[in-house]
Amino acid sequence: MPIPRHPSRLETVTFPVFACCWYGKPSLPPTNAGGISILAYCGGGGSAKTGVFNTLAVVVKEQVSPVDPNARSDDDVVAERKIKIDTGVQIGVGVAMHRHHSNTGDVRMLVCVGDKVNLYAVPLEGSPLLENLPEEDEDAGPSLLLGGVTVGEKYGCNAVAFSPLGDAMAVGCENGQVIIYRILHDEAGRATFRKIVEAQGEGHDGAGSSVA
């Protein structure tokens, strides 16, 4: 039986995870190198008193050389970098990723935190990030906060999903509302959000826990 190959892996976490998402770009012949695997997960302990902080973590693994079919692991051909972002007093409970259609070579990531959804850029293959944008946190590593939107007071964002083209998002909320936003970018790459529709499912008065 073949051994598990990249992106098959185990990731040890130090906090309760409320949501996770994976993005993959396969390796291509003739070298079978260049594969990318991104794992994003969020959660936390809800309070600094517990010693477990609220965190968004991103693990980027890049295949930098061809895989040896006889090797017992791919550790020597895979470069890894980790990004951690403190989400403050709010626990991240929903995350989604989408490859951005531009020459910036990054993946866009949506994260639900409280009543807000944040949009980040995560670079692929060491690609340069957008210029003239500050890092969200000096300890966050190579990721950028492009923008965010507060959906409504006490709405409670539970789940988020990109549209197939990545230019819109759906948000499922604790109060049962589902909201669709168009994602817009200015010349510098900063994101703004325009609400298209807000609705609640007919006959449904519970929380919106999943969108797709």
> pLDDT per position in the chain (212 positions), as tens?
344 455 556 677 888 899 999 988 776 665 556 678 888 999 987 655 566 678 898 888 777 666 555 555 555 566 777 888 888 888 999 999 998 766 667 889 999 999 999 999 887 765 444 443 444 444 444 568 899 999 999 999 999 999 999 999 999 999 999 999 999 998 888 899 999 999 887 777 788 888 98
Distance of CA 208 to the CA centre of its chain: 19
* Strand ranges for 30-165 from DSSP E: 36-43, 55-63, 78-86, 92-99, 106-113, 116-123, 144-150, 157-162
**Cα separation of 117 and 139, whole Å?**
21
Domain ranges of the chain: 17-200
Looking at residue 83, what is its pLDDT? 84
- Of 91, 119, 92, give the one whose Cα is nearest residue 107: 119
DSSP for 111-131, please give it.
EEETTEEEEEEEESTTPPPPT
**Cα separation of 63 and 27, whole Å?**
8
Decide: pTM greater than 0.85.
no
Sign of the alpha-carbon torsion through 145, 147, 152, 153: positive
